Amino acid sequence: IVQERITILNKHGEKLVGLLDDTRSRELVVICHGFRSSKEYSTLANLATALTGEGISAFRFDFSGNGESEGEFLYGNYWKEVEDLRAVVLYFSGKERKVNTIFGHSKGGNAVLLYASKYHDIVGTVINSSGRYDLEKGIGDRLGNDFECRINEDGFIDVMDEHGNVEYRVTKESLMDRRQTNMKSAVLSIPKSCRVLTIHGSKDETIPVTDAFEFDKLIPNHSLHVIDEANHLIFDIFDVWCQRDATKAQIVRNVDVKQ
């Protein structure tokens, strides 16, 4: 197994930085991080290790505005992240590698589902881990319940860290981007030929497991795996996965790499 640092340009000319854990399989899995996270998130690194242990190559990268990648961090940005993912898929296609599975955690789960709703030609399997169904929900948890009043008055909200420093800024435009992203209409556009697996923790307090049930109702070719006692950060999901053959087998079966 060889690890290679790769830089890919998105359609805006921004450099996306990623790590390829390469087993020399032609097919590979692309792994997408969540909100204000990165390719270095331990669960995603553990997933890459688990996949390479099965002989499957894995590529994890930073969306634009996150981690080492270029670009401005934006609060919404869902469809731009889809286009970042598209740039990655096309890059490997140009190298005669086939991305046959895309995996996303949390906001990354939204990215892979939205990708599958728009692009039907390359990816055959989508794995959504803890993605949010209703993007109108959860906003107040980060921005405060008075967010509408504040953003209408000032045009932006600065989110502070525990030390009182500005962690990131939410503009009115980026908030609207999120609120206008309709997951229901998107997932109804996912073709039946695309297999979707949703993984969600039963104790997720950030995005409730009921969101996973909503995806299960709507996506044509869908299977759902709820992991008991797991939370949203799912530090334990792939630790559990490495110990529970049923979960591991289900994910590898969905990846379905032909060596």
What is the pLDDT, as a whole number, of residue 254?
A: 60
Residues 81 and 191 in one domain: yes
How far, in Å, CA of 221 to CA of 192, rounded? Answer: 5
Q: What is the average per-residue pLDDT within 216-238?
A: 83
Q: How confident is the model at residue 143 (pLDDT cuts 50, 70, 90)?
A: confident
Q: How confident is the model at residue 242 (pLDDT cuts 50, 70, 90)?
A: very low
**Range of the structural domain that residue 174 is part of:** 136-180
Residues 130 and 140 in one domain: no
Q: How confident is the model at residue 240 (pLDDT cuts 50, 70, 90)?
A: very low
Query: Please, are residues 21 and 53 in contact by the beta-carbon 8 Å criterion?
Result: no
Give the chain's largest Cα–Cα span.
57
Tell me how many domains the chain contains: 2
**pTM for the predicted model, two decimal places:** 0.90
Residues 82 and 168 in one domain: no
Mean pLDDT, the chain, integer: 89
Give the CATH number of the domain where residue 79 resides. Answer: 3.40.50.1820
